[in-house]
Structure 1
Amino acid sequence: MRTPLRDTGALGAALLAPPAVAAVLVPFRTDLTNATMALILVVVVVVVVAVAAIGNRAAGAVAAVSSAAWFDFFLTTPYQRFTINDGDDVETAVLLLVVGLVVSQLAARARRLEVITVTDAGYLARVHETAQLVQASGSPDKIVDHVRRQLIDLLELRDCRFEYGSLLGHPARLEQDGSVVVARGRWDVERRGWPDGEIELRALAGGHYRGRFLLQPGPAVPPLQARLVAVTLADQTGAALDTAAPRLEQ
Protein backbone atom coordinates (compact mmCIF):
# COMPACT_ATOMS: atom_id res chain seq x y z
CA MET A 1 0.00 0.00 0.00
CA ARG A 2 1.35 3.44 -0.88
CA THR A 3 1.67 6.10 1.85
CA PRO A 4 -0.77 8.94 1.20
CA LEU A 5 0.62 12.46 0.98
CA ARG A 6 -1.23 13.47 4.14
CA ASP A 7 0.42 10.61 6.05
CA THR A 8 3.84 11.84 4.94
CA GLY A 9 2.95 15.39 5.98
CA ALA A 10 1.74 14.16 9.36
CA LEU A 11 4.99 12.28 9.98
CA GLY A 12 7.00 15.34 8.98
CA ALA A 13 5.06 17.54 11.38
CA ALA A 14 5.43 14.94 14.14
CA LEU A 15 9.22 14.95 13.71
CA LEU A 16 9.80 18.69 13.28
CA ALA A 17 7.21 20.52 15.39
CA PRO A 18 8.26 19.32 18.89
CA PRO A 19 12.01 20.14 18.56
CA ALA A 20 11.15 23.50 16.98
CA VAL A 21 8.90 24.48 19.90
CA ALA A 22 11.37 23.11 22.47
CA ALA A 23 14.18 25.16 20.88
CA VAL A 24 12.04 28.32 21.06
CA LEU A 25 11.56 27.69 24.79
CA VAL A 26 15.32 27.42 25.47
CA PRO A 27 15.79 31.14 26.40
CA PHE A 28 12.99 30.81 28.96
CA ARG A 29 13.88 27.45 30.45
CA THR A 30 15.27 28.95 33.65
CA ASP A 31 12.14 31.07 34.17
CA LEU A 32 9.45 28.53 33.37
CA THR A 33 8.68 25.45 35.43
CA ASN A 34 9.12 22.08 33.79
CA ALA A 35 5.42 21.46 34.17
CA THR A 36 4.65 24.64 32.19
CA MET A 37 7.10 23.74 29.43
CA ALA A 38 5.72 20.22 29.28
CA LEU A 39 2.21 21.63 29.03
CA ILE A 40 3.29 23.72 26.05
CA LEU A 41 4.70 20.60 24.42
CA VAL A 42 1.44 18.77 25.11
CA VAL A 43 -0.29 21.49 23.10
CA VAL A 44 2.20 20.76 20.32
CA VAL A 45 1.33 17.07 20.57
CA VAL A 46 -2.36 17.90 20.28
CA VAL A 47 -1.71 19.98 17.15
CA VAL A 48 0.30 17.17 15.61
CA VAL A 49 -2.37 14.72 16.68
CA ALA A 50 -4.86 16.79 14.72
CA VAL A 51 -2.64 16.12 11.74
CA ALA A 52 -2.44 12.46 12.75
CA ALA A 53 -6.23 12.34 12.69
CA ILE A 54 -5.98 12.82 8.94
CA GLY A 55 -2.73 10.88 8.79
CA ASN A 56 -2.13 7.64 10.68
CA ARG A 57 -1.27 6.11 14.07
CA ALA A 58 2.46 6.28 13.35
CA ALA A 59 2.36 10.08 13.10
CA GLY A 60 0.71 10.41 16.51
CA ALA A 61 3.16 8.01 18.14
CA VAL A 62 6.16 9.81 16.61
CA ALA A 63 4.78 13.15 17.85
CA ALA A 64 4.51 11.86 21.41
CA VAL A 65 7.98 10.29 21.45
CA SER A 66 9.53 13.33 19.77
CA SER A 67 7.99 15.71 22.32
CA ALA A 68 9.27 13.68 25.27
CA ALA A 69 12.75 13.32 23.76
CA TRP A 70 13.21 17.01 22.91
CA PHE A 71 11.77 18.08 26.26
CA ASP A 72 14.59 16.04 27.80
CA PHE A 73 17.26 17.35 25.37
CA PHE A 74 16.51 21.08 25.50
CA LEU A 75 14.64 21.74 28.72
CA THR A 76 16.00 19.48 31.47
CA THR A 77 19.43 19.39 33.06
CA PRO A 78 21.98 18.44 31.88
CA TYR A 79 21.05 20.45 28.77
CA GLN A 80 21.75 19.22 25.21
CA ARG A 81 21.94 15.64 26.40
CA PHE A 82 19.37 12.87 26.38
CA THR A 83 19.80 12.41 30.12
CA ILE A 84 17.55 13.31 33.05
CA ASN A 85 18.91 13.50 36.59
CA ASP A 86 15.98 14.99 38.45
CA GLY A 87 13.14 12.71 39.49
CA ASP A 88 10.48 15.36 38.82
CA ASP A 89 11.82 15.83 35.29
CA VAL A 90 11.62 12.08 34.71
CA GLU A 91 8.00 12.05 35.87
CA THR A 92 7.12 15.02 33.65
CA ALA A 93 8.75 13.41 30.61
CA VAL A 94 6.97 10.11 31.18
CA LEU A 95 3.60 11.82 31.60
CA LEU A 96 4.23 13.84 28.45
CA LEU A 97 4.96 10.63 26.54
CA VAL A 98 1.95 8.73 27.91
CA VAL A 99 -0.53 11.57 27.34
CA GLY A 100 0.77 12.10 23.81
CA LEU A 101 0.52 8.42 22.93
CA VAL A 102 -2.99 7.99 24.32
CA VAL A 103 -4.43 11.10 22.71
CA SER A 104 -2.73 10.46 19.37
CA GLN A 105 -4.01 6.89 19.13
CA LEU A 106 -7.54 8.01 19.97
CA ALA A 107 -7.37 10.59 17.20
CA ALA A 108 -6.05 8.07 14.70
CA ARG A 109 -8.80 5.63 15.67
CA ALA A 110 -11.41 8.34 15.15
CA ARG A 111 -10.05 8.90 11.66
CA ARG A 112 -10.19 5.15 10.94
CA LEU A 113 -13.82 4.98 12.05
CA GLU A 114 -14.65 7.90 9.78
CA VAL A 115 -13.01 6.13 6.84
CA ILE A 116 -15.02 2.98 7.56
CA THR A 117 -18.24 5.00 7.63
CA VAL A 118 -17.49 6.71 4.34
CA THR A 119 -16.45 3.40 2.79
CA ASP A 120 -19.62 1.67 3.93
CA ALA A 121 -21.68 4.49 2.44
CA GLY A 122 -19.85 3.91 -0.85
CA TYR A 123 -20.63 0.20 -0.72
CA LEU A 124 -24.29 0.91 -0.03
CA ALA A 125 -24.41 3.30 -2.98
CA ARG A 126 -23.14 0.56 -5.31
CA VAL A 127 -25.79 -1.89 -4.17
CA HIS A 128 -28.53 0.75 -4.43
CA GLU A 129 -27.42 1.83 -7.91
CA THR A 130 -27.46 -1.76 -9.15
CA ALA A 131 -30.89 -2.39 -7.62
CA GLN A 132 -32.27 0.65 -9.42
CA LEU A 133 -30.81 -0.59 -12.69
CA VAL A 134 -32.33 -4.04 -12.17
CA GLN A 135 -35.77 -2.47 -11.67
CA ALA A 136 -35.48 -0.04 -14.57
CA SER A 137 -33.71 -2.11 -17.18
CA GLY A 138 -35.19 -5.01 -19.12
CA SER A 139 -31.81 -5.97 -20.55
CA PRO A 140 -29.90 -8.69 -18.67
CA ASP A 141 -26.79 -7.94 -20.72
CA LYS A 142 -26.84 -4.32 -19.59
CA ILE A 143 -27.05 -5.38 -15.94
CA VAL A 144 -24.24 -7.93 -16.37
CA ASP A 145 -22.00 -5.33 -17.95
CA HIS A 146 -22.80 -2.79 -15.21
CA VAL A 147 -21.98 -5.27 -12.43
CA ARG A 148 -18.86 -6.42 -14.25
CA ARG A 149 -17.54 -2.84 -14.25
CA GLN A 150 -18.56 -2.40 -10.61
CA LEU A 151 -16.63 -5.52 -9.64
CA ILE A 152 -13.49 -4.37 -11.42
CA ASP A 153 -13.55 -1.10 -9.50
CA LEU A 154 -14.71 -2.54 -6.16
CA LEU A 155 -12.22 -5.43 -6.01
CA GLU A 156 -9.41 -3.66 -7.93
CA LEU A 157 -9.39 -6.40 -10.57
CA ARG A 158 -7.24 -6.58 -13.67
CA ASP A 159 -10.30 -7.75 -15.60
CA CYS A 160 -13.62 -9.52 -15.22
CA ARG A 161 -15.85 -11.46 -17.62
CA PHE A 162 -19.22 -13.15 -17.34
CA GLU A 163 -20.10 -16.70 -18.44
CA TYR A 164 -23.63 -17.93 -19.04
CA GLY A 165 -24.49 -21.61 -19.01
CA SER A 166 -23.08 -24.62 -17.21
CA LEU A 167 -20.08 -24.69 -14.93
CA LEU A 168 -16.82 -25.75 -16.50
CA GLY A 169 -13.54 -26.41 -14.69
CA HIS A 170 -12.78 -25.94 -11.01
CA PRO A 171 -11.46 -22.43 -10.44
CA ALA A 172 -11.12 -20.88 -7.00
CA ARG A 173 -14.46 -19.51 -5.80
CA LEU A 174 -15.54 -16.43 -3.88
CA GLU A 175 -18.19 -17.67 -1.46
CA GLN A 176 -21.31 -16.04 -0.03
CA ASP A 177 -19.52 -15.23 3.24
CA GLY A 178 -16.68 -13.44 1.44
CA SER A 179 -14.20 -16.27 1.88
CA VAL A 180 -12.29 -17.95 -0.95
CA VAL A 181 -12.33 -21.71 -1.55
CA VAL A 182 -9.78 -23.64 -3.59
CA ALA A 183 -10.30 -27.33 -4.40
CA ARG A 184 -12.88 -27.62 -1.57
CA GLY A 185 -10.46 -26.14 0.95
CA ARG A 186 -10.64 -22.64 2.44
CA TRP A 187 -7.94 -20.22 1.26
CA ASP A 188 -6.60 -17.64 3.73
CA VAL A 189 -6.88 -14.67 1.40
CA GLU A 190 -5.95 -12.08 4.04
CA ARG A 191 -2.65 -13.78 4.78
CA ARG A 192 -1.78 -15.37 1.43
CA GLY A 193 -3.36 -12.97 -1.05
CA TRP A 194 -5.49 -14.08 -3.98
CA PRO A 195 -4.88 -17.60 -5.33
CA ASP A 196 -3.44 -17.95 -8.83
CA GLY A 197 -5.75 -17.91 -11.82
CA GLU A 198 -9.30 -16.70 -12.27
CA ILE A 199 -11.73 -16.69 -9.36
CA GLU A 200 -15.34 -17.65 -9.79
CA LEU A 201 -18.17 -15.56 -8.40
CA ARG A 202 -21.50 -17.23 -9.06
CA ALA A 203 -24.70 -15.37 -9.90
CA LEU A 204 -27.44 -17.24 -8.05
CA ALA A 205 -31.18 -16.74 -7.68
CA GLY A 206 -33.19 -18.84 -5.25
CA GLY A 207 -30.39 -21.39 -5.19
CA HIS A 208 -30.41 -21.69 -8.98
CA TYR A 209 -27.23 -21.06 -10.94
CA ARG A 210 -27.61 -18.38 -13.64
CA GLY A 211 -24.02 -17.74 -14.60
CA ARG A 212 -20.74 -16.65 -13.10
CA PHE A 213 -18.29 -13.78 -13.09
CA LEU A 214 -14.68 -14.83 -13.59
CA LEU A 215 -12.44 -12.42 -11.75
CA GLN A 216 -8.83 -11.71 -12.64
CA PRO A 217 -7.42 -10.33 -9.37
CA GLY A 218 -4.99 -7.45 -9.08
CA PRO A 219 -2.16 -7.37 -6.52
CA ALA A 220 -4.30 -5.85 -3.74
CA VAL A 221 -6.67 -7.96 -1.63
CA PRO A 222 -9.89 -6.02 -0.95
CA PRO A 223 -11.33 -6.06 2.59
CA LEU A 224 -14.04 -8.49 3.61
CA GLN A 225 -16.70 -5.75 3.34
CA ALA A 226 -15.83 -5.23 -0.32
CA ARG A 227 -15.98 -8.97 -1.02
CA LEU A 228 -19.40 -9.22 0.62
CA VAL A 229 -20.66 -6.35 -1.51
CA ALA A 230 -19.29 -8.16 -4.59
CA VAL A 231 -21.34 -11.23 -3.62
CA THR A 232 -24.43 -9.05 -3.21
CA LEU A 233 -23.92 -7.52 -6.66
CA ALA A 234 -23.57 -11.01 -8.16
CA ASP A 235 -26.81 -12.08 -6.43
CA GLN A 236 -28.57 -9.03 -7.89
CA THR A 237 -27.33 -10.11 -11.29
CA GLY A 238 -28.64 -13.64 -10.70
CA ALA A 239 -32.05 -12.27 -9.70
CA ALA A 240 -32.19 -10.13 -12.85
CA LEU A 241 -31.25 -13.10 -15.04
CA ASP A 242 -33.80 -15.30 -13.26
CA THR A 243 -36.55 -12.75 -13.92
CA ALA A 244 -35.52 -12.40 -17.55
CA ALA A 245 -35.22 -16.18 -18.16
CA PRO A 246 -38.95 -16.85 -18.95
CA ARG A 247 -38.99 -14.00 -21.47
CA LEU A 248 -35.79 -15.21 -23.10
CA GLU A 249 -37.13 -18.77 -23.39
CA GLN A 250 -40.33 -17.67 -25.17
Structure 2
Amino acid sequence: MASWINRNRVRVGLAVVAPFAVAATLAPVRARIEIVDVALLLVVVVVAVAALGSRLAGYLAALSAGAWFNYFFIAPYEQFLIADRSGAQGFVLLMIVGAAVTELAVWGRRQQDVASREAGYLAGIHAAAASGATGGGSRQELIRQVASDLVEALHLQTARYQSGVAGLGDPARLQRDGQIMWKDVRWDVDHDGLPTDTDIELLVEHGGRLHGRYLLRAAPHTAVSLSERRVALTLADQVGAALG
Protein backbone atom coordinates (compact mmCIF):
# COMPACT_ATOMS: atom_id res chain seq x y z
CA MET A 1 0.00 0.00 0.00
CA ALA A 2 2.77 2.42 0.96
CA SER A 3 4.60 1.58 -2.26
CA TRP A 4 1.47 2.37 -4.30
CA ILE A 5 1.03 5.71 -2.51
CA ASN A 6 4.66 6.63 -3.18
CA ARG A 7 4.35 5.76 -6.87
CA ASN A 8 1.18 7.83 -7.13
CA ARG A 9 2.91 10.80 -5.53
CA VAL A 10 5.73 10.54 -8.06
CA ARG A 11 3.21 10.48 -10.92
CA VAL A 12 1.36 13.52 -9.58
CA GLY A 13 4.64 15.35 -9.05
CA LEU A 14 5.72 14.66 -12.63
CA ALA A 15 2.31 15.75 -13.90
CA VAL A 16 2.69 19.15 -12.29
CA VAL A 17 6.43 19.75 -12.78
CA ALA A 18 7.24 18.23 -16.19
CA PRO A 19 5.05 20.57 -18.34
CA PHE A 20 6.41 23.58 -16.44
CA ALA A 21 10.01 22.45 -16.98
CA VAL A 22 9.51 22.03 -20.74
CA ALA A 23 7.61 25.31 -21.16
CA ALA A 24 10.13 27.27 -19.05
CA THR A 25 13.03 25.81 -21.03
CA LEU A 26 11.48 26.86 -24.35
CA ALA A 27 10.28 30.29 -23.20
CA PRO A 28 13.58 32.14 -23.85
CA VAL A 29 13.47 31.12 -27.54
CA ARG A 30 9.73 31.59 -28.11
CA ALA A 31 10.43 34.20 -30.79
CA ARG A 32 12.26 31.58 -32.86
CA ILE A 33 9.97 28.60 -32.36
CA GLU A 34 6.55 27.89 -33.80
CA ILE A 35 3.81 27.91 -31.18
CA VAL A 36 2.36 24.74 -32.73
CA ASP A 37 5.66 22.96 -32.09
CA VAL A 38 5.52 24.03 -28.43
CA ALA A 39 1.99 22.67 -28.11
CA LEU A 40 3.04 19.34 -29.66
CA LEU A 41 5.97 19.02 -27.28
CA LEU A 42 3.68 19.63 -24.33
CA VAL A 43 1.28 17.00 -25.64
CA VAL A 44 4.20 14.55 -25.75
CA VAL A 45 4.86 15.32 -22.09
CA VAL A 46 1.21 14.66 -21.23
CA VAL A 47 1.33 11.34 -23.09
CA ALA A 48 4.51 10.34 -21.24
CA VAL A 49 2.93 11.07 -17.86
CA ALA A 50 -0.38 9.39 -18.75
CA ALA A 51 1.49 6.31 -19.99
CA LEU A 52 2.46 5.62 -16.39
CA GLY A 53 -1.12 4.40 -15.99
CA SER A 54 -2.74 7.12 -13.87
CA ARG A 55 -5.74 9.04 -15.21
CA LEU A 56 -5.38 11.63 -12.44
CA ALA A 57 -1.75 12.28 -13.35
CA GLY A 58 -2.66 12.55 -17.04
CA TYR A 59 -5.36 15.14 -16.43
CA LEU A 60 -3.14 17.10 -14.06
CA ALA A 61 -0.42 17.08 -16.73
CA ALA A 62 -2.92 18.35 -19.31
CA LEU A 63 -4.02 21.13 -16.96
CA SER A 64 -0.42 22.03 -16.12
CA ALA A 65 0.53 22.03 -19.81
CA GLY A 66 -2.38 24.30 -20.68
CA ALA A 67 -1.60 26.70 -17.84
CA TRP A 68 2.10 27.04 -18.62
CA PHE A 69 1.45 27.22 -22.37
CA ASN A 70 -0.79 30.18 -21.61
CA TYR A 71 1.73 31.74 -19.21
CA PHE A 72 4.81 31.54 -21.44
CA PHE A 73 3.52 31.48 -25.02
CA ILE A 74 0.22 33.40 -25.23
CA ALA A 75 0.33 37.20 -25.05
CA PRO A 76 0.42 38.96 -22.67
CA TYR A 77 3.40 36.82 -21.68
CA GLU A 78 4.10 35.63 -18.15
CA GLN A 79 0.57 36.27 -17.01
CA PHE A 80 -2.26 33.83 -16.57
CA LEU A 81 -4.39 35.92 -18.89
CA ILE A 82 -5.64 35.34 -22.43
CA ALA A 83 -6.22 38.54 -24.33
CA ASP A 84 -7.57 37.30 -27.66
CA ARG A 85 -9.72 34.59 -29.19
CA SER A 86 -6.91 32.75 -30.94
CA GLY A 87 -5.02 32.40 -27.66
CA ALA A 88 -8.13 31.04 -25.97
CA GLN A 89 -8.64 28.54 -28.79
CA GLY A 90 -5.04 27.35 -28.52
CA PHE A 91 -5.37 26.87 -24.78
CA VAL A 92 -8.67 24.97 -25.08
CA LEU A 93 -7.38 22.76 -27.89
CA LEU A 94 -4.30 21.85 -25.87
CA MET A 95 -6.51 20.87 -22.94
CA ILE A 96 -8.80 18.79 -25.17
CA VAL A 97 -5.93 17.00 -26.87
CA GLY A 98 -4.23 16.42 -23.50
CA ALA A 99 -7.39 14.86 -22.06
CA ALA A 100 -7.88 12.70 -25.17
CA VAL A 101 -4.35 11.32 -25.19
CA THR A 102 -4.65 10.66 -21.45
CA GLU A 103 -7.70 8.46 -22.03
CA LEU A 104 -5.93 6.64 -24.86
CA ALA A 105 -2.82 6.08 -22.76
CA VAL A 106 -4.80 4.78 -19.78
CA TRP A 107 -6.82 2.48 -22.05
CA GLY A 108 -3.62 1.17 -23.65
CA ARG A 109 -2.06 0.51 -20.26
CA ARG A 110 -5.13 -1.40 -19.13
CA GLN A 111 -5.09 -3.51 -22.30
CA GLN A 112 -1.44 -4.28 -21.67
CA ASP A 113 -2.21 -5.32 -18.08
CA VAL A 114 -5.08 -7.55 -19.27
CA ALA A 115 -2.84 -9.20 -21.87
CA SER A 116 -0.16 -9.78 -19.23
CA ARG A 117 -2.64 -11.37 -16.82
CA GLU A 118 -4.07 -13.59 -19.54
CA ALA A 119 -0.58 -14.73 -20.49
CA GLY A 120 -0.01 -15.67 -16.85
CA TYR A 121 -3.29 -17.58 -16.70
CA LEU A 122 -2.43 -19.49 -19.86
CA ALA A 123 0.97 -20.36 -18.45
CA GLY A 124 -0.74 -21.76 -15.37
CA ILE A 125 -3.17 -23.78 -17.49
CA HIS A 126 -0.36 -25.16 -19.64
CA ALA A 127 1.64 -26.10 -16.54
CA ALA A 128 -1.36 -27.91 -15.07
CA ALA A 129 -2.01 -29.70 -18.35
CA ALA A 130 1.62 -30.74 -18.65
CA SER A 131 1.63 -32.07 -15.10
CA GLY A 132 -1.50 -34.10 -15.75
CA ALA A 133 -0.19 -35.44 -19.05
CA THR A 134 3.31 -36.36 -17.93
CA GLY A 135 2.79 -37.16 -14.27
CA GLY A 136 5.42 -34.55 -13.36
CA GLY A 137 5.20 -33.57 -9.69
CA SER A 138 2.70 -34.89 -7.18
CA ARG A 139 -1.05 -34.48 -7.36
CA GLN A 140 -0.95 -32.50 -4.12
CA GLU A 141 1.54 -30.08 -5.64
CA LEU A 142 -0.76 -29.60 -8.62
CA ILE A 143 -3.78 -29.02 -6.37
CA ARG A 144 -1.86 -26.40 -4.37
CA GLN A 145 -0.56 -24.70 -7.50
CA VAL A 146 -4.01 -24.46 -9.04
CA ALA A 147 -5.38 -23.06 -5.77
CA SER A 148 -2.76 -20.33 -6.02
CA ASP A 149 -3.64 -19.73 -9.69
CA LEU A 150 -7.33 -19.46 -8.78
CA VAL A 151 -6.60 -16.81 -6.14
CA GLU A 152 -4.73 -14.78 -8.74
CA ALA A 153 -7.19 -15.31 -11.60
CA LEU A 154 -10.29 -14.41 -9.58
CA HIS A 155 -8.67 -11.94 -7.14
CA LEU A 156 -9.70 -14.11 -4.17
CA GLN A 157 -8.81 -14.08 -0.51
CA THR A 158 -8.40 -17.87 -0.38
CA ALA A 159 -8.99 -21.04 -2.39
CA ARG A 160 -8.87 -24.45 -0.72
CA TYR A 161 -9.42 -27.95 -2.06
CA GLN A 162 -11.70 -30.57 -0.52
CA SER A 163 -11.67 -34.12 -1.84
CA GLY A 164 -14.77 -36.13 -2.71
CA VAL A 165 -17.50 -33.66 -1.67
CA ALA A 166 -19.91 -31.29 -3.38
CA GLY A 167 -22.73 -29.09 -2.11
CA LEU A 168 -21.79 -29.46 1.55
CA GLY A 169 -22.56 -26.22 3.41
CA ASP A 170 -24.85 -24.91 0.65
CA PRO A 171 -22.25 -22.69 -1.04
CA ALA A 172 -22.72 -20.72 -4.22
CA ARG A 173 -21.51 -22.62 -7.28
CA LEU A 174 -19.51 -21.57 -10.32
CA GLN A 175 -21.34 -23.30 -13.17
CA ARG A 176 -19.88 -24.71 -16.37
CA ASP A 177 -21.13 -21.70 -18.36
CA GLY A 178 -19.24 -19.30 -16.09
CA GLN A 179 -22.34 -18.11 -14.23
CA ILE A 180 -22.68 -18.31 -10.44
CA MET A 181 -25.78 -19.83 -8.84
CA TRP A 182 -26.68 -19.40 -5.19
CA LYS A 183 -29.86 -20.72 -3.63
CA ASP A 184 -31.23 -21.49 -7.12
CA VAL A 185 -30.80 -17.87 -8.21
CA ARG A 186 -28.25 -16.61 -10.74
CA TRP A 187 -25.88 -14.18 -9.07
CA ASP A 188 -25.30 -10.96 -11.04
CA VAL A 189 -21.50 -10.93 -10.99
CA ASP A 190 -21.23 -8.03 -13.43
CA HIS A 191 -23.30 -5.80 -11.15
CA ASP A 192 -22.60 -7.14 -7.65
CA GLY A 193 -19.18 -8.76 -7.99
CA LEU A 194 -18.51 -12.17 -6.46
CA PRO A 195 -20.68 -13.14 -3.47
CA THR A 196 -18.89 -12.65 -0.14
CA ASP A 197 -21.47 -14.03 2.31
CA THR A 198 -20.70 -17.59 1.27
CA ASP A 199 -17.97 -19.70 -0.25
CA ILE A 200 -18.11 -20.32 -4.00
CA GLU A 201 -17.86 -23.95 -5.00
CA LEU A 202 -15.85 -24.94 -8.07
CA LEU A 203 -16.25 -28.64 -8.84
CA VAL A 204 -13.33 -30.76 -9.94
CA GLU A 205 -14.63 -33.47 -12.28
CA HIS A 206 -13.44 -35.67 -15.10
CA GLY A 207 -15.31 -38.15 -17.28
CA GLY A 208 -18.50 -37.64 -15.30
CA ARG A 209 -16.78 -38.51 -12.02
CA LEU A 210 -16.56 -36.05 -9.12
CA HIS A 211 -13.12 -35.81 -7.53
CA GLY A 212 -13.69 -32.89 -5.20
CA ARG A 213 -14.10 -29.15 -5.15
CA TYR A 214 -12.32 -25.88 -4.59
CA LEU A 215 -13.99 -23.55 -2.11
CA LEU A 216 -13.33 -19.98 -3.13
CA ARG A 217 -13.59 -17.04 -0.74
CA ALA A 218 -13.94 -13.68 -2.46
CA ALA A 219 -12.80 -10.34 -1.13
CA PRO A 220 -15.46 -7.62 -0.87
CA HIS A 221 -16.37 -5.81 -4.11
CA THR A 222 -14.48 -8.25 -6.31
CA ALA A 223 -15.45 -7.90 -9.97
CA VAL A 224 -14.30 -10.63 -12.35
CA SER A 225 -15.00 -10.99 -16.03
CA LEU A 226 -16.63 -13.98 -17.68
CA SER A 227 -13.30 -14.85 -19.32
CA GLU A 228 -11.60 -14.94 -15.91
CA ARG A 229 -14.30 -17.27 -14.59
CA ARG A 230 -13.78 -19.54 -17.60
CA VAL A 231 -10.06 -19.61 -16.87
CA ALA A 232 -10.94 -20.86 -13.37
CA LEU A 233 -13.09 -23.61 -14.85
CA THR A 234 -10.28 -24.66 -17.17
CA LEU A 235 -7.83 -24.81 -14.27
CA ALA A 236 -10.24 -27.06 -12.33
CA ASP A 237 -10.63 -29.27 -15.41
CA GLN A 238 -6.85 -29.76 -15.54
CA VAL A 239 -6.86 -30.93 -11.94
CA GLY A 240 -9.76 -33.28 -12.71
CA ALA A 241 -7.85 -34.72 -15.67
CA ALA A 242 -4.74 -35.26 -13.53
CA LEU A 243 -6.74 -36.94 -10.76
CA GLY A 244 -8.61 -39.06 -13.26
Q: TM-score range by the shorter chain?
A: 0.7 to 0.9
1:107 correspondence with 2:105: yes
CA contact (8 A) 1:155 1:227 kept: yes
CA contact (8 A) 1:190 1:221 kept: no
Distance in 2 of aligned mates of 1:82 and 1:175: 60
Gaps of 5+ in 2: none
Aligned match of 1:90 in 88, 91, 96? 88
Q: What is the root-mean-square deviation in Å for CA atoms of aligned residues?
A: 2.9
Change in CA separation of 1:146 and 1:3 when aligned onto 2, cut-off 3 Å: closer
Distance in 2 of aligned mates of 1:230 and 1:151: 6
Change in CA separation of 1:122 and 1:220 when aligned onto 2, cut-off 3 Å: farther
Distance in 1 of aligned mates of 2:111 and 2:93: 27
1:94 maps to a residue whose letter is V
Once the two structures are TM-superposed, the CA of residue 5 in structure 1 deviates from its matched residue by 5.3
Once the two structures are TM-superposed, the CA of residue 201 in structure 1 deviates from its matched residue by 0.7
CA contact (8 A) 1:25 1:37 kept: no
CA contact (8 A) 2:150 2:159 kept: yes
2:142 corresponds in structure 1 to 143
Q: Report matched runs for 1:58-207 at 5 Å.
A: 58-79=56-77, 81-137=79-135, 140-167=139-166, 168-195=168-195, 196-207=197-208
Distance in 2 of aligned mates of 1:4 and 1:42: 30
Q: Name the SS for the 2:159 alignment partner.
A: strand
**Superposition TM-score, scaled by structure 1 size:** 0.79
Distance in 1 of aligned mates of 2:230 and 2:35: 51
Aligned residues between the structures: 239
Show CA shifts across 1:121-150 (max 9, x none): 111100000001111228544432332233
Distance in 1 of aligned mates of 2:180 and 2:4: 28
Distance in 2 of aligned mates of 1:174 and 1:102: 39
Once the two structures are TM-superposed, the CA of residue 27 in structure 1 deviates from its matched residue by 4.8
1:247 corresponds in structure 2 to none
Change in CA separation of 1:126 and 1:191 when aligned onto 2, cut-off 3 Å: same
1:15 maps to a residue whose letter is V
Distance in 2 of aligned mates of 1:68 and 1:217: 44
Q: Name the SS for the 2:148 alignment partner.
A: helix
Change in CA separation of 1:73 and 1:239 when aligned onto 2, cut-off 3 Å: same
1:12 correspondence with 2:13: yes
Change in CA separation of 1:146 and 1:111 when aligned onto 2, cut-off 3 Å: closer
Q: Report matched runs for 1:45-56 at 5 Å.
A: 45-56=43-54
Q: Name the SS for the 2:105 alignment partner.
A: helix
2:143 maps to a residue whose letter is V
Gaps of 5+ in 1: 244-250
Once the two structures are TM-superposed, the CA of residue 14 in structure 1 deviates from its matched residue by 1.8
Distance in 2 of aligned mates of 1:192 and 1:237: 29
Distance in 2 of aligned mates of 1:156 and 1:113: 18
CA contact (8 A) 1:10 1:48 kept: no
Once the two structures are TM-superposed, the CA of residue 239 in structure 1 deviates from its matched residue by 2.3
2:240 corresponds in structure 1 to 238
Change in CA separation of 1:144 and 1:27 when aligned onto 2, cut-off 3 Å: closer
CA contact (8 A) 1:159 1:216 kept: yes
Q: Aligned residues: percent identity? A: 42
Once the two structures are TM-superposed, the CA of residue 115 in structure 1 deviates from its matched residue by 1.9
Distance in 1 of aligned mates of 2:4 and 2:239: 36
**Superposition TM-score, scaled by structure 2 size:** 0.81
CA contact (8 A) 2:76 2:83 kept: yes
Residues 226-235 or 37-46, more deviating: 37-46
2:108 maps to a residue whose letter is A
Residues 112-121 or 80-89, more deviating: 80-89
Q: Name the SS for the 1:223 alignment partner.
A: coil
